[in-house]
Amino acid sequence: MADVTLTTLQGLKQKGEKIVMLTCYDATFAKTASEAGVEMLLIGDSLGMVLQGHDSTLPVSVEEMAYHTACVKRGNRGAMIVTDLPFMANATIEQTLNNSAALMKAGAHMIKVEGTAWLAESIRLLAERGIPVCAHMGLTPQAVNIFGGYKVQGRQEAQAQQMVEDAKALEAAGAALLLLECVPSELAARITQAVSVPVIGIGAGSETDGQVLVLHDMLGLSLSGRTPKFVKNFMAEHGDIAKAIAAYVAAVKAVEFPAAEHGFSA
């Protein structure tokens, strides 16, 4: 696979081909996923839960994110590497710039930040300094204690309209990508149509420009034993990790995943 760039992603959006993203935390899975055609590898702070065994993403540090980013870089075969800024790593502008720089130096091609329009100034400053940004909206796990749990966001029309406006504001600030988590499928479609940058969904229906899943979820691995509504276990049908990842890529590209049952209504 030729190296995936922002130009690549914009081209996929323009021609209507779905973008495939998958979380990844080490070199071996990076090689396997990128060779299977996964275009974006996300070093998510989800590693706090699936690798470290925490009950949320909050304990993860910038140093841990940098370590796993460097691991993924060594195994990657052309995918774009996106790394989360973990909890409170962007509490101030100075922290945002310094921590983003550390993750880019570790091997990230893009930084992902959670939040809404309040992120605009940080995104503008990062973009000016050559750091592409993915803005993560909807259910943002770092705000789980504000939300009162892992709940679908945007079901009320006022909140939905605000999310559309926030998406436009973040694009205007310089966000190169949006990620929508656990929002009604109809709202995700509205946001995807309202912005010109690619939109990736997880629990956001099939009309976004691409999809992401947590690697462990799509392989049927879970510490809790619970499977989120938006997840499909691709390992169950194939019994082989490389084939399961390839099947995920194929299903997203063919718009066979996510199906209606994987989405949420308003």
CA terminus-to-terminus distance, the chain: 38
3-class DSSP state for residue 178? strand
- Does residue 209 have a known ligand-binding role? no
Fill in the amino acid letter for 127. A
Task: Answer for the pair 105, 63: CB distance below 8 angstroms, yes or no.
Answer: no
C-alpha closest to that of 5 among 210, 248, 207, 177: 177
Tokens describing residue 133 = 């940004």
Contacts of residue 99, defined as CB under 8 A and 6 or more positions apart, other chains included, come to 62, 85, 89, 90
- Does residue 94 have a known ligand-binding role? no
- Does residue 112 have a known ligand-binding role? yes
Task: Answer for the pair 55, 48: CB distance below 8 angstroms, yes or no.
Answer: no
- Does residue 157 have a known ligand-binding role? no
- Does residue 45 have a known ligand-binding role? yes
Task: Answer for the pair 71, 38: CB distance below 8 angstroms, yes or no.
Answer: no
Instruction: Give the active site residues.
Output: 181
Q: How far apart are CA 71 and CA 68, in angstroms?
A: 5
Could you tell me which residues are annotated as the binding site? Answer: 45-46, 84, 112, 114
Could you tell me which residues are annotated as the binding site for 3-methyl-2-oxobutanoate? Answer: 45-46, 84, 112
Could you tell me which residues are annotated as the binding site for Mg(2+)? Answer: 45, 84, 114
